[in-house]
Structure 1
């Protein structure tokens, strides 16, 4: 887990309060929502949205460029 205190993605600098690049999933909780976001750099964030506002509670590193291809094999095979 990467620190979430900076207010921006530590990998590309995109502000946490800006519109997300892609919402991966959204789940209702007893107190609000948990939202999984993929940043433009590929980093995934977990955000909690409740009566206290929005907080990034966890974030990953960007995926390696060939991470999926390396597991699945070359395209077209």
Structure 2
């Protein structure tokens, strides 16, 4: 799924800036950082953090049978 202006996960409705989300890895780039995260529903997300703020540039569907993180 490509980036949209949505501010919540389209799969579970949890706010993109809300906890819990699990940071899987962080990578420094020339303009900031790229983070691979997992939403509470199991969806993988790629977040770009730079001078413009934090935005999700792509995300996957939750894995079949993935257990949700309790909120």
TM-score interval, smaller chain: 0.7 to 0.9
CA deviations 1:15-59 (Å, max 9, x no partner) are 112234210111000010000110110001100000110011001
Q: Please identify which structure carries the higher helix content.
A: 1
Structure number with bigger Rg: 1
User: Within 1, Cα distance between the matches of 2:36 and 2:44?
Assistant: 7
Aligned to 2:34, the other structure's residue is in SS state strand
Larger RCO (CA under 8 A, 6+ residues apart)? 2
Unaligned runs of 5+ in 2: 67-71
Equivalences, count: 66
Using a 3 Å threshold, how does the CA distance of structure 1 residues 7 and 29 change in structure 2: closer, same or farther? same
Runs of 4+ in 1 over 3 A off after TM superposition: none
Q: CA RMSD in A?
A: 1.6
The structure with more strand, counted as a fraction of residues: 2
Q: Structure 2 length as normaliser, TM-score? A: 0.83
